[in-house]
Homo-oligomer: A and B are copies of this chain.
């Protein structure tokens, strides 16, 4: 029942009554399946619908004129990574799958209708977009203040926390189907350097990143390096 992932996430932050939830459920299209590395929405597109990631991973990215690409955020089941399109018609970045993914869509027309009828739902969705902002702000701090090792550790800690609340972590281990090259694009580092950081983490028994699976070996150390702050809101 993949659609429940979205509901689950929404309920983490907002109090919604059953009627709100079923109104929302009712406008989500049947799930579509996307392969790995498929573009869901492209920068410049005029969006007429927003999506919900039901399973799998996705990421948002933007290329700077220099041709360098920056990954802005990673997304997991339950996320609505292009909800902002509801009010900002023109996409300012790309949204791409990182793994095969199940995606549901909600047309903006239907969303507006449902929000007008149920203001509390509108507020809950607004809040979701604000939480998105919080993550971006943390990301800025990450890029601006931390060394390479700190950035990697932070990213892992953040994902660990988010996947944890969605029940996607088992035995301090989770799937994260990303290449080192994408990690580099996310963290503003070179591939070579990412590789070296990961190796040193492995050697020091901090964490292991192999075959798309992350294994946390020394959480204390990771949190210390990455200075991750759960930041309960």
Interface residues of A (CB under 8 A from B): 60, 62, 64-66, 68-70, 72, 84, 87-90, 92-93, 116, 119, 122-123, 126-127, 129-134, 136-146, 150, 185-188, 227, 229, 231-233
Contact = CB atoms under 8 A, between A and B. Distances in A.
A231 B227 CA distance: 33
A126 B92 contact: no
A233 to B, nearest CB: 5
A218 to B, nearest CB: 17
Given A90-B233, A144-B187, A145-B64, A133 B131 contact: no
B127 A72 contact: no
A64 to B, nearest CB: 4
Given A65-B227, A72-B140, A140-B143, A92 B122 contact: no
Total identical chains: 2
A64 B227 CA distance: 7
A15 B139 CA distance: 32
17 contacts: A62-B137, A64-B142, A65-B229, A69-B145, A72-B137, A84-B130, A84-B133, A90-B232, A90-B233, A92-B231, A119-B122, A126-B126, A126-B129, A133-B133, A143-B144, A144-B185, A144-B187
Looking at chain A's contact residues, is the secondary structure mostly helix, strand, loop, or mixed? Answer: helix
Contacts of A64: 141-142, 145-146, 227
Contacts of A84: 130, 133
A11 B47 CA distance: 22
Nearest to A69: B145
Given A87-B123, A87-B126, A88-B131, 14 more contacts: A62-B138, A62-B141, A64-B145, A64-B227, A65-B227, A70-B140, A72-B141, A87-B130, A92-B134, A92-B231, A116-B119, A133-B133, A136-B136, A144-B186
B127 A88 contact: yes
Contacts of A132: 133
8 closest pairs, A vs B, by CB? A144-B188, A65-B227, A136-B136, A143-B143, A68-B145, A70-B144, A87-B127, A70-B141
